[in-house]
Chain A
């Protein structure tokens, strides 16, 4: 089942030597096992020359993070070879990878919040030093210069936690760069950035390219991959299933390679009914919260999916937190199904029929070390009497129903939820609410960090949920997602609703105009 995005480029998984000069980096037949699980079995990756941007894509569970772990020296492979300039090298521990010029900007938060920007940039014994010890003035200067190379202008004395997320990301890139990096690995660098910030990041990647730094760019977003990359590697089931120059690929062929078949085209948008007679499932009037939400009014009908677009900081996430009782509300009225709702605490909101799927799945949406079962039961249980004895049969029934309904691919419900792929984790994070049949489901970034195939699946699950009568309010930084998923889209900026569009006749340009002109 060799998928066919090759128009004369190198064949998938071919081991023939590359004609011409020795490539900068060549990964051959890489294998890695964790217990009985083959995370990698035959991964290839070739970066032909310095200054190339190499896109790496694969579903969650395809072995991508294992490959990155090996390239950054955190894991040692069980088999295969890594060649730098044609010479076989060992990359563990991370110090050795760094010495070879491979540095990674991890997807995890990798900065020390209490320390200054300067120190975060020069972390790892690279502060400038004189005979008397560390020379802080020279170090500050060096840090400022590295950041300037990225076009970033922040006071390097500020502590890291005072920076915006996009600025922190730049500091992490600056750290990687200040290590004489020849190959920079960016692991999903845009997952927490909005469009504007991503564009700034892309400019930086292009500038690095001009300086001769090779970049391994990992992303779930195909448009980004096609915008930036010179060549692409697609991983599936621990193997490289397609590789070659960008021109050999189309978005459809990349998806096909990722999922092992040609993906279905997105479901065409179908308008959903709205019950005009009954009160809206969620009605919000003049809601305000200090410094975040100002005078917001909106309503969501039963079976309707309403999206909220806006930059990070526009108040869309904060609005959802207000509705769910997780953020203080100063004025305004909320009605759920015609009944007045005062969101004093999340528990009150849950009892009123609301559900909230937070943006940070691993930190807020799930108890990662808990079992799939306990995560699925978490929301169902909160109405029980504290000391009631769990009824195993009832629970089994609920769990079975949820797993089937959400199409969670799992081995055993007693496994920790962290063993699931990102997409399936997200299904659990959403599914746990369905046990309570909520009237209103609030979702923030419902498919963050989820691969293309799983994203489509989550979307259709959300559509089914809406069709069964729930009202969905979805906040997302991805406009295509909102356009595909929603019936109506509200645009927020600086805490206010500044525009509304019918998804059927809106496009990205219209929404972006609203977002950026506010």
Chain B
């Protein structure tokens, strides 16, 4: 035992230590929060209708699908991968849900089965190929994107299936205790996500695997299992989004929207995650989704073409990532080194 034990967090230091901890864990949210505040103020000033309860409800409920998918994508991206197949998976699971209803399965059971199928396909196809066979996630999820797209078109004969079910109606338009069901779903998914990422071993394993896979392995974490799990989560979230989508349009559409994964990735990155994994979180992602939806909502209220939304998103995405980088390590870093250079860290001479 060393005799020089320094006891940290003595009574005087504690408040400051706590403050520093909070700052350290929320520093990456500064860009997205400032952007969100900025456009909120901008739109409320330019359009009186923007802040109305009706519009804010629309803003939230219309983003349910993206919200849920982006939170699933957060798990995947924190682990160091990306899931490009969610768009195709949403269409596939929507058709599955509709076919289950057509086959006479009760709405609630069909919902559970669809979510299970999403988890099974996500974890079993993407997760196993990437985690167990060590294939590149880009390759695997692009391949499954293509395969699911083809399959869903064959299966549905490219026709939408009209759906009317109390379950989907409740999810899309119902209220529980006076609150929209879809907003409750968003809150529930976010809260569970926040808990899992911060207070469970699984959540921390995801960060460890994304932060450094070798270190995680040597510390006894199964990277395979973790990878399968995050893709299963992404698949399950795609199922939820599929059912929400059916509820809103009263039909299951086999059309694959490939902008979905890209939008979800944008939200996760806006929320402070690194494309390399190991950082970010569902809280930041939720803010990122709010930002994108607010931007779309505000622009369309102002009668500006929705295509501008894409342009603005692209510019802001790069800007936000740059901002994060600058706040992390300053502007000038000529050479990236395995052992970062010595700036200010001169070892003390004996």
Query: Which A residues lie at the B interface, using CB under 8 A?
Result: 72, 74, 93-95, 98, 103-104, 106, 108-116, 119-120, 123-127, 129, 132-134, 140, 144-145, 148-151, 153, 155-159, 161, 164-166, 172, 175, 179, 192, 194, 196-197, 207, 211, 291-292, 311-315, 317-318, 321, 326-328, 359-360, 363-364, 493-494, 515-518
Contact = CB atoms under 8 A, between A and B. Distances in A.
B201 interface: yes
Given A115-B208, A133-B195, A321 B215 contact: no
Nearest to A132: B199
A94 B8 contact: no
Given A150-B2, A157-B17, A157-B20, A124 B216 contact: yes
A158 B17 CA distance: 10
Interface in B213-245: 214-222
Nearest to B339: A165
Contact of A313 (B6, B208, B342): B342
A313 B349 contact: no
Contacts of B199: 132-134
Contact of B208 (A112, A149, A196): A112
A95 B214 contact: no
Contact of B334 (A106, A129, A328): A328
Contacts of A328: 332, 334
B217 A74 contact: yes
Given A95-B220, A114-B279, A360 B345 contact: no
Given A148-B5, A149-B1, 6 more contacts: A94-B220, A106-B214, A125-B221, A140-B8, A175-B215, A313-B347
Nearest to B335: A326
B279 A166 contact: no
Interface string B99-140: 000000000000000000000000000000000000000000
Contacts of A515: 349
Interface residues of B, number: 52
A110 B200 CA distance: 22
B303 interface: no
B48 interface: no
Determine which residue in A150, A364, A518 has the highest number of CB atoms from chain B within 10 A of its CB, and name it. A364
A166 B347 contact: yes
A137 B196 CA distance: 17
11 contacts: A112-B216, A114-B279, A119-B204, A123-B204, A123-B216, A148-B4, A312-B347, A313-B347, A327-B334, A364-B337, A516-B350
B218 A110 contact: yes
Given A132-B199, A164-B345, A194-B347, A326 B334 contact: yes
B339 A192 contact: yes
Contacts of B6: 148, 153
A119 B260 CA distance: 33
| Most A Cβ at <10 Å: residue of B7, B195, B343, B345 | B345
A321 B334 contact: yes
A431 B7 CA distance: 52
B198 interface: yes
B274 interface: yes
B278 interface: yes
A127 B204 contact: yes
B99 to A, nearest CB: 39
Contacts of A194: 347
B344 A291 contact: yes
B338 A156 contact: no
A95 B222 contact: yes
B228 to A, nearest CB: 15
Contacts of A151: 2, 4
Interface of B: 1-2, 4-9, 17, 20-21, 24, 195, 198-201, 204-205, 207-208, 210-212, 214-222, 274, 278-279, 332, 334-335, 337-347, 349-350
A158 B27 CA distance: 13
Given A123-B219, A133-B199, A134-B198, A148 B338 contact: no
Nearest to A168: B339
B215 A292 contact: no
A159 B268 CA distance: 21
B341 A94 contact: no
Contacts of A311: 346-347, 349
Nearest to A103: B218
B346 to A, nearest CB: 4
Given A115-B207, A151-B4, A360 B21 contact: no
Contacts of A93: 222
Contacts of B17: 155, 157
Contacts of B332: 328
Nearest to B200: A133
Contacts of A133: 195, 198-200
Nearest to B278: A114
A518 B205 CA distance: 45
Contact of A125 (B5, B210, B220): B220
B204 A134 contact: yes
A109 B213 CA distance: 10
Contacts of A327: 334-335
Contacts of A124: 208, 216, 219-221
A157 B24 contact: yes
A314 to B, nearest CB: 7
A172 to B, nearest CB: 8
B30 to A, nearest CB: 16
Contacts of A207: 1-2
Given A95-B220, A153-B4, A494 B346 contact: yes
A112 B207 contact: yes
Contacts of A95: 220, 222
Given A125-B220, A151-B4, A318-B341, A113 B211 contact: yes
Nearest to A112: B211
Contact of B8 (A111, A155, A164, A317): A155
